[in-house]
Structure 1
Amino acid sequence: MRGNPDARQGAIALHGFYFLYYGLQGVSIPFLPLWFASRGLDPALIGLIVATSFLPKILSTPVVAHVADQTGRAHGLIASALAASLILFICYPFSQTPAWLLAVTLLLNAVFPAVLPLMDRMAIASGRGQGNSYTVMRACGSLGFATVTVAGGYLIKTFDADWVMWLSILLIVACLACVRFLPHAARPAGAELRVDASRVDAPAPDPVRFPMREVLRDRPLLMCIAAASLVQASNGFLYSYSTLHWTASGLSTAQISLLWVVGVTSEVVFFFLAPRILARTGAQWLILTSAIMTAIRWAGLSASTDPAVIGGLQLLQCFTLAGNNAAIMWYITRHVPAACKTSAIALYALLSGGVFMFASIQLGGAVYRSYAPGGFLVMAVCAVGAVPLVVYSDRLRRGLGG
């Protein structure tokens, strides 16, 4: 890649794309509930909309991943998803009723999350078999999340909640501008492997007709993806109710944005360290450790609304997000054939951000309405649930000699 200007340009564009894509999440995840509240929605309805929004990707993400694995047309798929997302964000301010807000949110979450597996596939394909490219690019995403969270918190505090929409629209337009420069890494299996035969994906397998079916047949992989998905899905209460909970406890939007930044900063640092840690420990050990540290984090957040205490516990986000995500991508890179990688990433995305996320938000929300801090305790239980799955996955993998 050092001697190839096009490859360098593609890598730079992918770094920037991660920054912008996660930057959009940095404004929508913490502050979209506040925008809903500014439109007169009560916390129960906001929680329902946020929770339900995670469901559409269950259908859209595997379909897009299947098309990408079969055709390699990632650029067109990404551009189409972003264009549809832009239209839907523009529709938000014109949606006057809860029903319309729910409809727009559902459609948005059918198209926007489908971009993520394509991005991640490009990132791991651009590496040299060690996973370093993914972790550095994902760190750029975390930096984007932190930067936009701080900017969004300031703008919302200074002006009004409509800046959630303005920033989102600007960031999607910027993402669209980057698409044409992204690397052509997500190709059909045979073409990709002939180009990169020296990498971990070689030797080139026969094309796979149903990649997701092959992924589901690999029980150790399935258990490991499920475990990492539970850790990721345990963020459900943080994403849907934490801003409302902390605001009700007296914290300002500026303080809340800084607390998010503390967590994201720890993510960034850990992403840079992850390849060395994974080379020594392996993916399953890091997922297991991430599950335990995440459970500690949520249990601690259930016990205090002191900004200093919250800030300290937010440092454990390095495990919840960086350690867990780096580990599962490392695992997929090493155990999944090239023709199935996008589908494996999509399975992780639809479980972690779809099925499991919906369940965790619903459970956390039910507890929140009677005892607000209890939502974090539900998330702690969710994270602990990953432990036996990792142990079982390791046992199966050892039994298979892998």
Structure 2
Amino acid sequence: MTPLNARLAGFYFCYYGTVGAFMAYWTPYLLARGLSATQVGVAFGLMGVSRATVPVLWGWWADRRGERMVMIRLAALASLLIFAAIPLVQTVPAVMALMLAYTLFWNALLPQFEVVALNHLRDGGGEYSRVRLWGSVGFVGAVLAVGPLLDAIGIQWEPWLVAVLFAGMAVAAWAVPEHRSAAPLRRAGESAGATDAATPSLTAVLRQPAVIALLLVCFCSQLSYAPYYNFFTVFLERHGYSRSLAGQLWALAVIAEIVLFALGTRLLSTVGARRLMSFALLTTVLRWLAIGLGVDSLLVLLLAQLLHASSFACYHLVAMYYVQTLFPPALHGRGQALYNSASYGIGGSIGSVASGWLWDAASPEALFLLAALVGAVGTLIAWRYLPRSPGA
């Protein structure tokens, strides 16, 4: 791995380490702070609304100005400072407000860093999947380390442990150089010259059936993931599993993801984008059915978590492929932002609110059965409407 690729991998490692420490244990922390399941769902839903809107604004600014790494560094610091204030406030509305506030900056990070990383890797000849897998390694390391720590010192320390990883991510952002395209993009944005004239408008790109299909598939995928992201740990604890074991199951899923990322480029070229995305959504359906119906069997849970290799890693690789090919280079920042908005933003926010309400009003098992239904819709859209690619 080249020194530059190692720096890219370092940012992914810290970023997804933060995600792992947050995602696996934040809901138990919120419940311990006195929030109900419905309030937890609303809190995550508000974060999703931010993710549906804010990345598009950041993406527009980054495409016009270039200098994505400057924005990423400042956003990383701002999100760290706001997040670190969460354990200092006392009321539920204040906790929810700070969760929303930090995401206004946090949600700027990944879409724009993906553009930087893909540009560097295109110029340097590196494989995206082999760099991105270090994010999965960070996720696994954080989940496995934080779970036992919380068992030993108490769930109230969760935000401080996440904040430490936030700080590591902010430091890692300073190690990644700006891509050489930053300055030309900035001048193009200021002059609105020939480059802009030769580039299709964002509206024209969004009218393409393939782009519409991609955004719908991504919406369905991440809508179906909301019960897992927000309530999987609590669901396991309700069925008698320890928090440490829950963390190990999270980690197992991402270990499977790492293996897939190591093979990802060859798999995509061999199987084809449409087939691989359809397979990813189909295994997502199987995974949620297994968790919802077989939660009391550890063997079933182990097998379900191994499906993360296809249900998420395959999905993510194909989504990145389509965003890079369906959006022209001058719109890559906004393309990444729209992908994140449609999937993790709109899909995640609707799924979070619905999950919190259904947890209280129906049953946890019902969450995963409905998630499987949503995944099935996404499978049909992917197979019918996504374009073919070489190898399809």
Do they fold alike, i.e. is TM over 0.5? Answer: yes
CA contact (8 A) 1:227 1:386 kept: yes
- SS of the aligned residue for 1:274 comes to helix
Tell me what 1:389 maps to: 381
Measured at CA, do residues 289 and 62 of structure 1 come closer, stay the same or move farther in structure 2, by a change above 3 Å?
same
Q: Say which of 364, 371, 374 aligns to 2:366.
A: 374
- For 1:253-402, what aligned pairs fall within 5 Å after superposition? 253-305=243-295, 306-369=297-360, 370-394=362-386
Higher relative CO (CA 8 A, sep ≥ 6), structure 1 or 2?
A: 2
Measured at CA, do residues 129 and 374 of structure 1 come closer, stay the same or move farther in structure 2, by a change above 3 Å?
farther
- SS of the aligned residue for 2:155 comes to coil
Segment of structure 1 superposing worse, 40-49 or 30-39: 40-49
Question: In the TM superposition, what whole-angstrom CA distance separates every residue of 1:25-78 from its partner, at most 9, and x where no partner exists?
Answer: 101111111111221222222222122221112221001111111121111211
Structure number with the higher helix fraction is: 2
User: Matches of 1:129 and 1:177 in 2, distance apart?
Assistant: 24
Unpaired segments ≥5 residues, structure 2: 187-193
CA contact (8 A) 1:121 1:186 kept: no
Tell me what 2:232 maps to: 242
Segment of structure 1 superposing worse, 225-234 or 136-145: 225-234
> How far off its partner does 1:129 sit?
8.4
CA contact (8 A) 2:5 2:121 kept: no
The answer to whether residue 162 in structure 2 is matched with residue 171 in structure 1 is: no
> How far off its partner does 1:262 sit?
0.8
User: Matches of 1:52 and 1:144 in 2, distance apart?
Assistant: 26
User: Matches of 1:352 and 1:256 in 2, distance apart?
Assistant: 25
Question: In the TM superposition, what whole-angstrom CA distance separates every residue of 1:58-100 from its partner, at most 9, and x where no partner exists?
Answer: 2210011111111211112111211111111221011211110
Measured at CA, do residues 345 and 208 of structure 1 come closer, stay the same or move farther in structure 2, by a change above 3 Å?
farther
Segment of structure 1 superposing worse, 256-265 or 233-242: 233-242
CA contact (8 A) 1:66 1:210 kept: no
CA contact (8 A) 2:143 2:250 kept: yes
Segment of structure 1 superposing worse, 51-60 or 345-354: 51-60
User: Matches of 1:50 and 1:78 in 2, distance apart?
Assistant: 23
Unpaired segments ≥5 residues, structure 1: 3-7, 193-203
C-alpha RMSD of matched pairs (Å): 2.4
Tell me what 1:201 maps to: none
Measured at CA, do residues 209 and 274 of structure 1 come closer, stay the same or move farther in structure 2, by a change above 3 Å?
closer
> How far off its partner does 1:121 sit?
0.8
CA contact (8 A) 1:215 1:344 kept: no
Corresponding pairs, count = 381
How many percent of aligned residue pairs carry the same amino acid?
A: 24
CA contact (8 A) 2:69 2:113 kept: no
User: Matches of 1:83 and 1:124 in 2, distance apart?
Assistant: 23
Tell me what 2:87 maps to: 93
User: Matches of 1:268 and 1:299 in 2, distance apart?
Assistant: 23
- SS of the aligned residue for 1:40 comes to coil
Q: Say which of 112, 119, 134 aligns to 1:125.
A: 119
TM-score for both structures, normalised by structure 2: 0.90
TM-score for both structures, normalised by structure 1: 0.88
> How far off its partner does 1:190 sit?
5.2
CA contact (8 A) 1:131 1:330 kept: no
